[in-house]
Amino acid sequence: MKRFNIFYVIFLGMMVSSFPSFSQDKELREVERLVKNEKYTEGYTALQNLFPTIEQFSDEQKVWFYYLQSKIHSESAVESDENKNFTTIVNAFEQIEKLEKNNKVTRFVKTTANAKNRLLSKIVNAAIDDTTNQDWEKASQNYFNAYQLSKTDTLFLYHAANQALKADDKKTAIKHYKDLVKLNYKGKTTLYTAVNRSNGTVVSFGNDQRRRDQQVRNLLYDQPEEIVLESYQPIIYKNLALLLVNQNNYSEGEQYLIKAFELNPNDYDLLISLFYVYMDTNRRFRFEDYMRQGVKKFVENPSLYYNIGAVYFNLGIKDKAKEYFEKTLQLDKNNYHANHALGNLLLEKDKDISTQINNLSNNKADRQKKQQLLNEKAENYKQIIVYFEKALLNSKEDTKELKQLIKDIKELI
């Protein structure tokens, strides 16, 4: 009797545990039937109802589920936003690959492989259209979807990062650029393109020359070309560094800036960015290391000397600031920024003179000193006017405030 009870309990347990599997098979077969009959909306609804219980599925049933999901989203318009469809399909393929790899589920391998290739071409073309239309956010998402489908085509991830940057989506851009750095992506590669004979559009096959050549042999494409791309590493490090620095993340930004400058020591913008990182972090010695490199490399660049002067000014080293502003004018006497900066430096001097005058008493010696300081103040005003008027003549900015300042100073002379 005890043996019968034990057998009965075990058998009942087997029945209970296997029951959901039969039920799910039945429901997935029904979705498959709807898809074959092109009843995509009904199939979509049925899958949505199944999704909350997906963790109870066997691995093969999960692959089946995601395969049906990819079919519905790729062959219908169940959602109005095409980008959402692309993202859903890409996620479905990722899940299928993951399950196939971990569990050797192969039922839908060939079918999904062909569908992936068709989808990849469609997504890349959509990304190109989005870029042409300057819809940077959609272009970024589509290039990232393309990368998710074809991880060997790292160029898609690079484009996703660049388009995210143009969309001012800093968080996404930083993430993609960091992933490119981790992958040590250089970007010096050959792209294989051809023209689609049906619509005349140029299509990139990425690094897959074999697939491009096959399409040409099948007479679906013609005019095959090879495009050699130089290394993208300097721009990857530069963009990532500037994004981080602009968020005041100097600890991370500095290392990427240094690497970017090592990769492209002729990039003037990187040098100036390093100047201001070390100014903002009050590290004069590091600034001066790069300043000396800059003076050797960009010896005839007046903007370099102005920026050196600006850093010194912000560090409170006024004599050095004056020296480099004057060096700027030696190369470009009409430089707006240097003339304006020297005028401002003399305004600082005027404040010092005023302080000295206010500290004098009314005895004979101090009255004489006061007159000397007043004369010095007047001469200082004349120099200020010279610099500000030169700045005014060469200003590309709103000059209303500067004009008023010149007028006020002239009234004091």
The one-digit pLDDT tens for each residue of the chain (413 residues) are 444 444 344 343 443 434 445 567 777 877 777 777 777 778 778 777 877 777 777 777 777 777 777 777 666 644 545 556 677 777 777 777 777 666 665 666 666 666 677 778 878 888 999 999 999 999 999 999 889 888 888 989 999 999 999 999 999 999 999 999 999 998 777 889 999 999 998 988 877 899 999 999 999 999 999 988 778 999 999 999 999 999 999 999 999 999 999 999 999 999 999 999 999 999 999 999 999 999 999 999 999 999 999 999 999 999 999 999 999 999 999 999 999 999 999 999 999 999 999 999 988 888 899 999 999 999 999 999 999 999 999 988 778 899 999 999 998 87
Q: What is the pLDDT, as a whole number, of residue 110? A: 63
Q: Kindly state the DSSP code that residue 363 receives in the 8-state scheme.
A: S
The answer to the question of residue 169 being in a domain is no
State how far Cα 167 lies from the chain centre. Answer: 9
Nearest to 267 by CA among 244, 243, 301: 301
- The four Cα atoms 279, 281, 286, 290 give a dihedral, to 10 degrees, of -40
Q: What is the pLDDT, as a whole number, of residue 1? A: 44
The answer to the question of residue 337 being in a domain is yes
Q: Considering 229, 260, 294, which residue would you say is the last residue of a domain?
A: 229
Residue-wise pLDDT for 300-330, tens only, equals 999 999 999 999 999 999 999 999 999 999 9
Q: How far apart are CA 143 and CA 126, in angstroms?
A: 9
Q: Are the CB atoms for 116 and 110 separated by under 8 Å?
A: no
Q: What is the pLDDT, as a whole number, of residue 12? A: 38
Q: How far apart are CA 155 and CA 149, in angstroms?
A: 12
Give the DSSP per-residue string, 179-207: HHHHTT----EEEEEEEETTT--EEE-TT
Q: Considering 180, 206, 229, which residue would you say is the last residue of a domain?
A: 229
Question: Torsion-angle region of residue 56: left (phi > 0), alpha (psi -120 to 50) or beta?
Answer: alpha
Q: What is the pLDDT, as a whole number, of residue 291? A: 97
Pairing, β 189-196 against β 202-204: antiparallel
Which residues is 221 bridged to in the sheet?
196
Q: Would the pTM of this model clear 0.85, i.e. be above it?
A: no
State how far Cα 226 lies from the chain centre. Answer: 27
Q: Considering 229, 257, 284, which residue would you say is the last residue of a domain?
A: 229
* Token pair in block for residue 130: 């989005």
Please tell me the total count of domains within the chain: 2
Residue-wise pLDDT for 145-176, tens only, equals 889 888 888 989 999 999 999 999 999 999 99
The answer to the question of residue 356 being in a domain is yes
The answer to the question of residue 365 being in a domain is yes
Q: Are the CB atoms for 317 and 285 separated by under 8 Å?
A: no
The answer to the question of residue 285 being in a domain is no
Reported as type and span, the H/E element at residue 125 is: helix 109-132
The answer to the question of residue 20 being in a domain is no
Return all residues near 335 (Cβ < 8 A) that are at least 6 apart.
302, 306, 328, 329, 394
Q: Kindly state the DSSP code that residue 199 receives in the 8-state scheme.
A: T
**Domain assignment of residue 215, given as a range:** 189-229
The answer to the question of residue 315 being in a domain is no
Burial of 206 (0-12, 13-18, 19+ CB in 10 A): buried
The answer to the question of residue 9 being in a domain is no
Residue whose pair of structure tokens reads 């494409």 in the numeric block: 221
The residue type at 187: G
Opening angle at CA 140, ends 138 and 143, nearest 5: 105
